Amino acid sequence: MNDHDLRKLKQEKLFFYLTVDGLAETGAGIFLVVISLVLLKMNFFIEDIKPATGFTEIAGSNAIPLIIPLFVSLVILKRKVTYPRIGIVRFRATMKGVILVVTCLIAVLLLSVILPPYIQPGIEGFILYAFLSLCLIVPGIQYRSFRFVLYGCMLMAGSALTVLLNTFLAQWMILFLSGVVVTVSGIVCLKRFLRTYPVLRNEKE
Amino acid sequence: MKPERKASVSDLEINKTIHEPARLKIMIYLFLTDFADFVYLMHQTGLTQGNLSSHLSKLEKEELVCITKEFVEKTPRTIISLTEKGRADFNEYRDSVLQLLDLSQM
């Protein structure tokens, strides 16, 4: 077993460990649904108001107060639901992995904040979503987790439709439906996880 | 000047503690991590509680792993990690096996 095999095994185990319970997806799905409901309340698309700021910016500004409670809930649920079932592990971080994550974050930051004033409106969102969808599709194929391929394709198709249709109603529908699909998929995963991994009692040593 | 002698199969030493299949699995999973708990190792290796426990004791006796016990919300938790010696020995074991495989292909 050489270094390459061990690295591949670690990545596979890490991906499995982070996604097997479906909690992160459920959280992400709820996040999208809540954002879309907040936008629904704001009546932007019903009255067809087109403010200077775009859909992504409005959705983003409303998302910020939601992130912290969702993250805290995720941590608590992981502690109560996931860890007693599949245990706790901390994978060794390699310099290459850290560089990859930092590069991805910088790319997202560039696409979402720095580039928009310089390129055609709508295109920056499409590039950003295309990049994010690739971040879902590639590991999905690599680790044979096809629900991630589905999320990636959905994100790609949604972002293309958003650019093509360019109405708040269409954008809102895509956001809401994506949220529902991801939430349902996450809940199904969570249910399967709870059935497959019962809590182990009487740990012997 | 004597020509340098190539390593032969008989020169290679394989660490027998690590070489046992169940312990090798444990060592591989611990090598990938900073630490893991008993439940995680049990799921990954497919060993039973008693079996895993006895293999861990053997590895601990050889100072290849470090085992610490703690209580989290009145529940016992056993955290296992590789020691420096364990990491070095595992690397050595890997090198030996790779060399052995290379020699077998000659």
Identify which of A31, A21, A29, A32 has the alpha carbon closest to the alpha carbon of residue A78: A21
In 3-state terms chain B splits into helix, strand, coil percentages (rounded to 5) of 60, 20, 25
Instruction: For residue A100, count other CB atoms closer than 10 A to its CB.
Output: 11
- Intra-chain end-to-end CA distance of chain A, in Å: 29
Asked if A152 and A133 count as a contact pair (C-beta separation under 8 A), the reply is: yes
Tens of pLDDT, residues A6-46: 888 888 888 899 899 999 999 989 888 888 887 777 665 55
Task: Give chain B's contact residues with A (Cβ, < 8 Å).
Answer: 28-29, 31-44, 49-50, 53, 67, 69, 75-79, 94, 97-98
pLDDT band at A205 (very low <50, low <70, confident <90, very high): very low
Q: What's the rounded Cα separation, in Å, for the pair B31 and A105? A: 28
Going by the DSSP 8-state scheme, the letter that residue A172 receives in this structure is H
Tens of pLDDT, residues A43-59: 655 555 554 455 555 66
Residue with the larger pLDDT of the pair A158 and A167 = A158
Provide the shortest C-alpha distance from residue A141 to chain B (in Å).
22
Lowest mean pLDDT among A101-105, A115-119, B23-27, B28-32: A115-119
Asked whether the predicted pLDDT for residue B73 surpasses 50, the reply is yes
Residue among A6, A87, A203 minimizing CB distance to B32:
A6
Q: Where are the beta strands (DSSP E) in chain A?
A: 89-91
Nearest CA in chain A to B67: A205
Beta-carbon separation of A85 and B39 below 8 A: yes
Beta-carbon separation of B76 and A2 below 8 A: no
Task: For an interface test with A, give the residue of B14, B26, B30, B37 to mutate (most A CBs within 10 A).
Answer: B37
> Across residues A85-113, what is the average pLDDT?
80
Burial A58-84 (b: 16+ CB within 10 A, else e): bbeebeeeeeeebeeebeebeeebbbb
Provide the shortest C-alpha distance from residue A199 to chain B (in Å).
10
Length of chain B: 106
0.95 cut: is pTM over it?
A: no
Tens of pLDDT, residues A177-203: 989 999 999 999 999 999 999 987 655
